[in-house]
């Protein structure tokens, strides 16, 4: 059980980090969560501030520290001060396309930041390190569904390369220093208070402005959309039960790829049902079909069998339900 544990969650004002923090504070007695986030302006900071407020509203033992995991002195200070039982690393510079234009920040946050954590764990051992990897490590793999047994030696974006680097670094530190770690390859996470750079969120913003949305690869893409509560459920189960081996990797995805065009129509209907868009809004008139974007892949599809076998869980939230909850939140957050 996680009662009375002291846990470090990096990226605690991020999308997944904030949802995980709220879940842990709600469900476990005496838990102390130390949250670290640099609150950068990669996207609208007001959403991060909103998430932090949501965390603090119910009370609970939550300590927030504004800082960057690439700051070695900060990380060392935290480990010396709080004596963590578990560490969940969700801090990262996200975004496949952004990594092509801004590579430096990815190396700083995703590689150096993760290295700092591993070095701190080497000197201040914990029960378990859980860290976010990504479905992007599969690159252009054509065998589906994607399995953690597949080779992932051909990332097609720097973001994917940094996530594969995290997995390699974790393996090395497990081998050398006995750090017990579990990497989680997340598949296209979505939901309320999510990241505005994700398709469902950015499409909504553009449609409301009457702008056209760009559908890459002429709509011939499939994505394994995974609702954020399913991601959190998977993380919590792994935290509770602990690692199966010293070094572990799992996919967390919905195991049900959705065609991009179907996704757009489902999103549009959910936005109409929740009063974000007018009922007579013409989705088709606001689409622009374009070619494949650099760094993108045609399909993502998670094999979640090992997660189900080891932890008795697989994500299953239907896309319509998850997008409906997002649309309801969007209406409330941006209400005039």
Q: Does 165 fall in a domain?
A: yes
β-strand 258-259 against 222-223: which pairing, if any?
antiparallel
Three-state secondary structure call for residue 60 = coil
Q: How confident is the model at residue 94, as a pLDDT?
A: 83
Report the pLDDT averaged over residues 164-193.
Answer: 98
Q: How confident is the model at residue 297, as a pLDDT?
A: 74
- Distance from C-alpha of 106 to C-alpha of 124, rounded to nearest angstrom: 26
Q: Does 43 fall in a domain?
A: yes
Beta bridge pairs of residue 132: 184
- The pTM is what? 0.95
Report the pLDDT averaged over residues 3-18.
Answer: 98
- Distance from C-alpha of 10 to C-alpha of 17, rounded to nearest angstrom: 7
Cis peptide before 145 (omega within 30 of 0): yes
Token representation of residue 46 = 């007001």
Q: Does 216 fall in a domain?
A: no
- Residue 214 near residue 202, CB atoms below 8 Å: no
- Residue 32 near residue 8, CB atoms below 8 Å: no
Beta bridge pairs of residue 248: 182
What is residue 186's DSSP assignment?
E
The region of weakest confidence among 166-180, 276-290, 292-306, 316-330 is: 292-306
Residue 60 has pLDDT above 70, yes or no: no
Residue 298 has pLDDT above 70, yes or no: yes
Q: Does 336 fall in a domain?
A: no
Residues annotated as part of the active site: 159
Tell me the torsion sign for CA atoms 10, 14, 15, 18: positive
Query: How many residues appear in the chain?
Result: 336
- pLDDT class of 59 with cuts at 50, 70, 90: low
Q: How confident is the model at residue 165, as a pLDDT?
A: 97
Which residue would you say has higher pLDDT here, 295 or 210? 210
Residue 295 has pLDDT above 80, yes or no: no
| Number of separate domains in the chain | 1
Tens-digit pLDDT profile for residues 227-260: 999 999 999 999 999 999 999 999 999 999 999 9
Q: Does 287 fall in a domain?
A: no
Within a 10 A sphere around the Cβ of 271, how many other Cβ atoms?
Answer: 25
Residue 86 has pLDDT above 60, yes or no: yes
- Residue 166 near residue 232, CB atoms below 8 Å: no
For the chain, the distance separating the N- and C-terminal CA atoms, rounded to the nearest angstrom, is 43
Q: How confident is the model at residue 65, as a pLDDT?
A: 97
Which residue would you say has higher pLDDT here, 96 or 280? 280
Angle between helices 158-177 and 113-123 (to 10 degrees): 10
Tens-digit pLDDT profile for residues 120-138: 999 999 999 999 999 999 9
Percent of the chain with pLDDT over 70: 98
Q: What is the CATH number of the domain that holds 183?
A: 3.40.50.720
Within a 10 A sphere around the Cβ of 65, how many other Cβ atoms?
Answer: 16
- Distance from C-alpha of 273 to C-alpha of 252, rounded to nearest angstrom: 29
Token representation of residue 232 = 């959190």
Residue given tokens 């994607």 in the structure block: 146
Q: Does 127 fall in a domain?
A: yes
Q: How confident is the model at residue 101, as a pLDDT?
A: 82
Q: Does 50 fall in a domain?
A: yes
- Distance from C-alpha of 73 to C-alpha of 69, rounded to nearest angstrom: 9
Q: Does 218 fall in a domain?
A: no
| Structural domain span for residue 160 | 6-194+225-256+302-317
């Amino acid at each position: 059980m996680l009662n009375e544990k002291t846990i470090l969650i990096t990226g605690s004002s991020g999308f997944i980090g904030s949802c995980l923090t709220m879940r842990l504070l709600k469900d476990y007695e005496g838990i102390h969560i130390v949250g670290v986030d640099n609150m950068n302006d990669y996207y609208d900071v007001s959403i991060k501030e909103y998430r932090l407020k949501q965390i603090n509203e119910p009370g609970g033992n939550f300590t927030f520290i504004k800082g960057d995991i690439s700051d070695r002195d900060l990380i060392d200070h935290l480990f010396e001060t709080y004596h963590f039982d578990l560490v969940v690393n969700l801090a990262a510079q996200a975004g496949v396309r952004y990594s092509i234009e801004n590579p430096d920040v990815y190396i700083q946050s995703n590689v150096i930041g993760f290295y700092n954590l591993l070095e701190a764990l080497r000197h201040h051992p914990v029960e378990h390190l859980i860290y976010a990897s990504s479905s992007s490590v599969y690159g252009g793999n054509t065998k589906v569904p994607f399995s953690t047994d597949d080779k992932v030696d051909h990332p097609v974006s720097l973001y994917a390369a940094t996530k594969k680097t995290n997995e390699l670094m974790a393996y090395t530190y497990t081998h050398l220093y006995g750090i017990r770690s579990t990497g989680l390859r997340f598949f296209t996470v979505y939901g309320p208070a999510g990241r505005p750079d994700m398709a469902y969120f950015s499409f909504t913003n553009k449609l409301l402005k009457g702008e056209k949305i760009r559908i890459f690869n002429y709509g011939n893409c499939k994505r394994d959309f995974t609702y954020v509560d399913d991601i959190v459920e998977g993380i919590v189960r792994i935290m509770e039960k602990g690692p199966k081996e010293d070094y572990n990797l799992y996919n967390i995805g919905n195991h049900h790829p959705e065609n991009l065009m179907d996704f757009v129509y489902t999103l549009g209907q959910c936005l109409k049902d929740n009063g974000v868009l007018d009922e007579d809004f013409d989705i088709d008139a606001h689409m622009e079909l374009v070619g494949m974007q650099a760094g993108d892949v045609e399909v993502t599809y998670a094999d979640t069998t090992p997660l189900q076998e080891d932890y008795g869980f697989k994500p299953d939230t239907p896309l319509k339900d998850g997008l409906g909850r997002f649309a309801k939140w969007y209406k409330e957050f941006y209400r005039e």
